[in-house]
Amino acid sequence: MFGRDLDRMMQMWAELLGEIEGSPMQQSIWERVPDRMKLPKVGTVEDRDEDIVLTADLPGIEKKDIELSVDHNSIAFKAKTEERDYDFGQSFDFELNPEEVKATFVNGVLDVVVKKAEGTKGKTIQIE
């Protein structure tokens, strides 16, 4: 798991530094990392007002090979076959409702929707 965490951290830093206009880091640090050290990006997470949506492309995986877990502040899954090994985890600084989860797996794509706990949902503010 340490390798994947380091990989995510490097991607985040590369994106952050690449966003700074005129930065000498405009050329991504990520581009300088040797391919052998890069782990493929497994899933994407979208933060919506009332829920979190995880989408992951898992070619070569069957539903029975996926282990999904959701707790009050994280989503994680593992999927393993003889040929493939996927591992993904994401923590949040707000609470999720692990009782309100919908997960589907269709044509190699895992979609997970987790409702945020009451009190952590976003709110649209009308500007006067």
Smallest CA-to-CA distance from 43 within 89, 105, 5 is with 89
What integer pLDDT is reported at residue 56 of this predicted model? 92
User: How confident is the model at residue 1, as a pLDDT?
Assistant: 44
**Contact yes or no for 119/101 (Cβ under 8 A):** no
Which tokens belong to 118?
């009451």
CATH for 40-117?
2.60.40.790
At residue 108, the pLDDT reads 92
pLDDT by 10s per residue, the chain, length 128: 455 666 777 777 766 666 555 555 545 555 665 655 555 567 888 988 889 999 999 988 999 999 999 999 899 999 988 888 888 888 888 899 999 999 999 999 999 999 998 876 666 778 87
Locate the DSSP E strands across 1-128: 43-47, 51-57, 66-70, 74-80, 85-91, 96-106, 109-116
Considering the entire predicted model, what is its pTM? 0.64
Domain chopping of the chain, boundaries: 1-38, 40-117
